[in-house]
Amino acid sequence: MALLSKSKLWRVTIVLSGFALLIAIFYSEENWRGKRAWENCKRELEAKGEIVDWDKLIPPPVPDDQNFFAAPKIQEWFVRPDWHHTSFTNELTERLKNEKTGWFGENSKIKTEADAKDYLAWSDQFQSDFNLIREALKRPYARMDGDYHDSFTKPDLDLSTIRTVAQTLAQQAHCHLLLNQPEDALDELTLVHDMCRLMQSSSSNKPVTLVSAMINAAVIGLYVDIIAEGLQSHICQEPQLFALKEQLKKIELLPTFAMSFDFESADTCWILKSFFRKYPNDPSLWQDLKHYRFPWMKWVPHGWVYQNMVTTIRMNDKQCEGFDFESGIILPNQMESSQVEIRNILKHSSPYNFLVIMMDADPHFLKAWQTTAHNQTLVNEVQIACALERYRLAHGEYPETLDALAPQFIERIPHDIIGGQPLHYSRTNGGKFLLYSVGWNEKDDGGSSGTLADVKNGDWVWK
């Protein structure tokens, strides 16, 4: 009986040892496979000049006297605390709230000269604040103060304040146009334009977040709306039109948006890498996941984490397929096909994508691409519209073709970013003109536009 028991114990030991060996081989294989996939992916991207290491995205220190965020009040107004501060109220944003702030055009709540005077009288209290921002923007760099080495504690722009300030300035410009004060309107528009530098890579020579890039596109859309109002009323004269031309030619929304995916890739990979770190006293994302929500995750092979990092990189790379950096051209069909591929990547959970899915990664950026492309088209069209207005002031009518504008009234005539063909232009009855892009559907609908909420259908027509 004792011999039988020893024999059974020996067999159980052999089985358990074999099972442990298989588990060790499995972990070693998955860890090796994942690490190799990550290193290969990293080398491939670095060869193309893309940045995947978070540390390489940290903006270098700059002298305080050259830093926008080191100017008085600026850090307090425009920088959010780290992600641990879920409730945050900005005093400037609170003070700028006003019942008359709203959309422009037909939906504007300010329609008469009396309304305009009333709004400007109320907003006069903020002129010293806006002057502080103007002075601060004369500094060449914009580096927020904070700890950039930790993705969870890095400083972030308070985009709500930027948007509220831009809306207030646009509303003031709208009021000045109602009061036939184009030079004052230009001053407000110039500040809106200059503030967008905070949401672009040029301010720190580093990529920006996707949210910043989208807010940047929205603010530029607001800026263009006010210029359109001034052009439609023929209030703007040569000095203002020339100044606007110089501002508009520097706006490139699409490269900024495309570059933001580099930032998102590096940010997500940093968070995934934190899976390897131990923070005993830190209630961070992974501590929450590993110890509270999904305790089994502490047993996940590290190779799976690396594979999820590769999935993140590949997914964000595909987001930009269909956009040509050099030409600035978008091919919507190719971009939509890429979005289908991205959705298929995340359609079924696997060890190589489950962490990406768990982080609520949203692969559906097609709408953001459409909005950004639409607003860049409006920027290109308003450049032409300003040149057309300058031509009309000089010759008493609009030209027969856009070729007559260059180089006197515009250095280069922008092409249609959808497909790269020339924008469509023709003179119409009543001394007006028709100017449009074929839009996202890549089809010439003869200048028939879709709705404001649906930029996917119809032509993108200048107002």
Residue 83 is predicted with a pLDDT of: 52
pLDDT, one tens digit per residue, over 205-261 is 566 788 889 999 999 999 999 999 999 989 999 999 999 999 999 999 999 898 888
Name the CA radius of gyration of the chain, rounded.
27
Mean per-residue pLDDT over the chain, rounded: 85
pLDDT, one tens digit per residue, over 130-152 is 999 999 999 998 888 888 877 77
Residue 281 is predicted with a pLDDT of: 47
Residue 391 is predicted with a pLDDT of: 97
127/290 Cα distance (integer angstroms): 51
The closest alpha carbon to 78, from 88, 94, 90, belongs to 90
- CB contact at 8 A, 219 and 195: yes
What percentage of the chain carries pLDDT values higher than 70?
A: 85
Confidence of residue 262 (pLDDT cuts 50, 70, 90): confident
Element (H, E) at 405: none
Evaluate if residue 392 carries a pLDDT over 90: yes
The closest alpha carbon to 307, from 46, 22, 30, belongs to 30
Residue 229 is predicted with a pLDDT of: 92
Residue 451 is predicted with a pLDDT of: 63
Lowest mean pLDDT among 100-114, 233-247, 392-406, 407-421: 100-114
Residue 107 is predicted with a pLDDT of: 60
Extract the runs of DSSP E, i.e. beta strands, from 129-272. 156-157
Residue 283 is predicted with a pLDDT of: 46
**Mean pLDDT for the stretch of residues 181-205:** 86
Look at residue 91 and give its three-state secondary structure: helix
- CB contact at 8 A, 441 and 456: yes
Element (H, E) at 80: strand 79-80
Lowest mean pLDDT among 4-13, 162-171, 321-330: 4-13
Site of tokens 């596109």:
217
Max mean pLDDT range (22-36, 74-88, 341-355, 370-384):
370-384
Comparing 177 with 10, the larger pLDDT belongs to: 177
| HSE (side-chain half, CA atoms, 13 Å) at 463 | 21
Evaluate if residue 156 carries a pLDDT over 90: no
**Mean pLDDT for the stretch of residues 88-93:** 75
188/167 Cα distance (integer angstroms): 10
How many other C-beta atoms lie within 10 A of the C-beta of residue 59? 14
Confidence of residue 380 (pLDDT cuts 50, 70, 90): very high
Evaluate if residue 167 carries a pLDDT over 80: yes
Tell me the whole-structure pTM to 2 decimals.
0.86
**Mean pLDDT for the stretch of residues 20-32:** 85
286/268 Cα distance (integer angstroms): 13
**Mean pLDDT for the stretch of residues 179-199:** 94
